Structure 1
Amino acid sequence: MCNRRCPKNVINCTHVSAVKAGEDEFEVFKKNTDGVDFRTVHWIRASVIFLKVIFATGVLSIPTAMYQLGAVGGALSVIGWGALNTYTAILQGNFRNRHPNCHSIADMAAVIGGPILREIVGVLFVLAYVLCAGSGILGVSIGLNALSNHAACTVWWSFLATVVVIAAASVRKFQQIGWLTWAGFLSIFIAVFVVVIGVTVRSRPAAAPATGPYDLGFHAIAYPNFVNGMVGSATIFVSSAGTSAFLPVISEMRTPAHYSRAVYLCMAIVQSSYLAFALVVYRWCGKYVANPSLASAGGTIKKVAFGIGLIGLIVSGCLYLHVAAKYVFVRILRNTRHLQHNTAIHWGVWLGCTIGLGSVAFILAEAIPIFNYIVALTGSVCFAPIAIALPGALWLYDFRGSVKSKSPIEQTKYWFHVFLILLGAFFCVAGTYGTAELIKDAYASGAIGSAFSCADNSNSS
């Protein structure tokens, strides 16, 4: 039964407000099948997967953004963006459970805007998580350089990281990589905790002058120019904006209706950790905070932190690549028997997705080899449209009748979701401009050498 508002020939246009979200008939992956059962993820494990998707890149990049925005501005940005990203994550999950044969954010876009919007959002979704996978590969290469004192060309370390990430991402089901998410989250959490302790026991930041007076660069309130302000804000925004990666996990949950529980648990842990870790590191390091922040406490602690956190960086890249590959995989094989059967086509398409997208992530990581810039670019170009604007449009599609309501509360809800669309559009344009300007300046100043450079990216040598 297709809702009359849905575009013709859109396979997932079914509006099922009268259908329970967990009914197998409307799910992408069926429980009642003689093939592979993908529906095995409990909500607790889903929450851990969400934690690992969100936590790694954000906690490594926020302290640098704090320097650009100041402690007060940075803290308010963490709280504000965290709350907004939590809300839009719930919007996406609720929409998906009202339209349960949506597997991804692109499927949702098809419901409200037809095949053209679906293709645009699908490209943005894949690009976002390929860029995120690239940030994971870049983080691993920095870690390997730090641990080895730059014993090999950085391109070689990046290639080795890519091979490991592709191999881990090629495990087919979220349930099967569940143990990796636990290990990855604990790895990054402990590594950051070590850095927090390390910076507080030093008399001065590791990167500050060894003797004499110095300017810490700590500001409660900073006054950044437009470009730095937008890039700092984009960096904090993207730290919790990857909520569209949650949606494919819903399709593999035992009970999709429990999605909200997993989101609230994940976001509560993530945002409190971000705020505490980032403020402490910025307070003690100021403008001398490293990029990524695991290198902020000096050579010895840097090696300890990267040694502990290396697993987490690998798992981050693995999950981002898995999410992008799973979207393409389902898109190609959906409504065929190969989707849930161990055929040669099934495995060929799946491995082709992970290897192909992993290779693109490697190229992007080498083209934009500054961690914060690749993170900020991901937020501006990709996540602003799909994590702010599109969720607002999803709500308006299902509840657009509220504009005719005489209730002030309903009117406020309506115009708030219109505002989300405008905010997403502004942030996409302004954030992309700001990040592009800083990348251009970095190339001009020599901060970025050349693509596929062998130069040390960890400042170890």
Structure 2
Amino acid sequence: MNEKHSSTADHEYDEEGVLQANHDFAVVQPNDVFGNEAGHAIKYKTLSWPMVAVLMITEIVSNGMLSLPQSGGAVGLIPNVILIVFLGIFGTFTAYLLVQFKLNHPEVHNMGDAGYIMFGPIGREILAAGTVLFAIFATGSQLIAGELALATLSDSSLCLMLYTGIFAIPITICSFPRTLDRLSWLSIPATFSILIAGLVGMIGAGVNPVPGRTVSLTHSQTFINAFGSVANPVFAYAGHFMFFILISEMRNPRDAMKAAYVLQGFATTFYAVFAIQQHWYLGDGVASPSLLSLPPKWQKAAFAIAIPNFLIAGSLYSHTAAKLIFLRLFRNSKHLHSHTVMGWCTWNVLVLVMNAAAFVLAVGIPVFPYLVGIAASLFASWYTYGIAGTFWLHDSYYVTGLGTAGWRRQPIMFVLSVLTFIAGGFICVAGLYTFIELIKAAYDSGTVGSPFLCYSAPPPSGNSTSSG
């Protein structure tokens, strides 16, 4: 419904009939997922583009950064840096395609909605389910990061499952706000925390280099070992699955690319600098996360500072999973914008279920890190890379009304979009093959533990031969 006919007199419209933001209201396009929120008790479209950029940085620049130095140790410093920079540029391109699709289809709130437009009801169910599953796995990954941080700080005085449970409590609490603007303010200190933690890690590595280390500029590997390591930078940018949800709560969705440029510029620069510095001073044997290769006191300092980022990133992921289902249930109903008992009870239950599922998966599956890799291969390969190509192909064919002529008029974009789709398919297949083989190898070696086993990790050792 075009909101132009139900607005107040002080609203302004552009030449396309799109309701523009004034001091009190957000931009509302026809068919906007949240519609005109004037007069509603709960308003979602409140985010500015700088706050969206902060949210994007919080959810992406976390575990990805800490695992990148190990990729350099596996494939070599030069290939690792080239891959980080290339994927940063590639991620910017796919973000552009995603943003343009969202602007062309303001009714899209998540990947499921996009799937419905392109592939019908089956596409909606597959992409929506994939978004929820990947968000739950991502929440579990942040639980593991928090578990590791708490274990490091306490010298593993408790069993790891208890640390995971302890960390799950604040993540769940921070997931409860119904609108992302509440989480956006928490994301500001979370962003600073991962930035400062990275700087502390670099200082710790610089003053405590590993004696006799080897730093390989290039390094040959088997396909499985190479891709298992290359998956770190590939999935370090795997946050695009949240972009539709973030953009939907912007006051002006047309500013979304500004946030994406800030994210990709910050992430690519920080990833490259951190990966080079850590690999250079800690050598080819650098651990993942790389902070574990530091002396104990530097480990503790960096992990303590990084905890706010792990916490809010996990909350964003579980919030995303709950929000997708909540919108599916209550879109265009009074429960979406009003303080109803049904609305709040449903929202609270969804948040609890998503966080509980993440906790059970994280502590109940001994090969959970490999399953995160499988989930990323199945979903992030498409959400961050491959499916963006289909967005352009669809809109240039249908939205323009030109059919194949729309493709022929922009041959470079056509080729890039097809290659983007092929790249997503390659990452998906190669990732699945790699992580399945790694799971088999782990079971064959007898290193896989039992589910829900409460065991303690060894205390942090790091580079014990160096000073500091």
Q: Partner of 1:130 in structure 2?
A: 136
Contact 1:89 1:243 in 2 (8 A): yes
1:242-297 Cα shifts (integer Å, max 9, x gaps): 11212111111111111111110111111100000011101111233222222221
1:319 aligned onto 2:316: yes
Structure 2 matches for 1:47-446, cutoff 5 A?
47-204=53-210, 216-367=213-364, 373=370, 375-400=372-397, 401=402, 403-404=404-405, 410-446=410-446
Amino acid at match of 1:186: F
Contact 1:57 1:375 in 2 (8 A): no
Contact 1:235 1:375 in 2 (8 A): no
Contact 1:402 1:414 in 2 (8 A): no
Amino acid at match of 1:78: I
Contact 1:47 1:266 in 2 (8 A): yes
Amino acid at match of 1:133: T
Q: Give the 3 Å change call, closer, same or farther, for CA 285–377 of structure 1 in structure 2.
A: farther
Q: Partner of 1:211 in structure 2?
A: none
- Please list every run of 5 or more consecutive structure 1 residues that lacks an aligned counterpart in the other structure: 3-16, 206-213
Q: Give the 3 Å change call, closer, same or farther, for CA 406–231 of structure 1 in structure 2.
A: closer
Q: Partner of 2:31 in structure 1?
A: 26
Shift of 1:73: 1.0
- Please list every run of 5 or more consecutive structure 2 residues that lacks an aligned counterpart in the other structure: 3-14, 20-26, 462-468
Following the alignment from structure 1 to structure 2, what is the Cα–Cα distance between the partners of residues 331 and 196? 44
1:391-438 Cα shifts (integer Å, max 9, x gaps): 11111001134743696x722321221222222122111111101222
Following the alignment from structure 2 to structure 1, what is the Cα–Cα distance between the partners of residues 431 and 380? 11
What is the Cα-based RMSD across aligned positions, in Å? 2.2
Q: Percent sequence identity over matched residues?
A: 29
Contact 2:72 2:284 in 1 (8 A): no
- Aligned residue pairs total 437
Q: Give the 3 Å change call, closer, same or farther, for CA 391–277 of structure 1 in structure 2.
A: same
Shift of 1:198: 0.6
Following the alignment from structure 1 to structure 2, what is the Cα–Cα distance between the partners of residues 347 and 57? 32
Contact 1:218 1:283 in 2 (8 A): yes
Q: Partner of 1:6 in structure 2?
A: none
Query: 3-state SS of the aligned residue for 1:26?
Result: coil
Amino acid at match of 2:266: I
Shift of 1:85: 1.3
Contact 1:238 1:378 in 2 (8 A): no
Shift of 1:459: 4.4
Shift of 1:35: 2.6
Q: Partner of 2:451 in structure 1?
A: 451
1:195-244 Cα shifts (integer Å, max 9, x gaps): 11111112426xxxxxxxx5x34211111211122222222111112112
Following the alignment from structure 1 to structure 2, what is the Cα–Cα distance between the partners of residues 174 and 99? 21
Amino acid at match of 1:59: M
Q: Give the 3 Å change call, closer, same or farther, for CA 34–402 of structure 1 in structure 2.
A: closer
Q: Give the 3 Å change call, closer, same or farther, for CA 456–446 of structure 1 in structure 2.
A: farther
Amino acid at match of 1:259: A
Q: Give the 3 Å change call, closer, same or farther, for CA 252–136 of structure 1 in structure 2.
A: same
Q: Give the 3 Å change call, closer, same or farther, for CA 171–37 of structure 1 in structure 2.
A: same
2:48 to 26, 42, 45: 42
Contact 1:291 1:371 in 2 (8 A): no
Contact 1:129 1:320 in 2 (8 A): yes
Q: Partner of 2:22 in structure 1?
A: none
Shift of 1:345: 1.1
Query: 3-state SS of the aligned residue for 1:220?
Result: coil
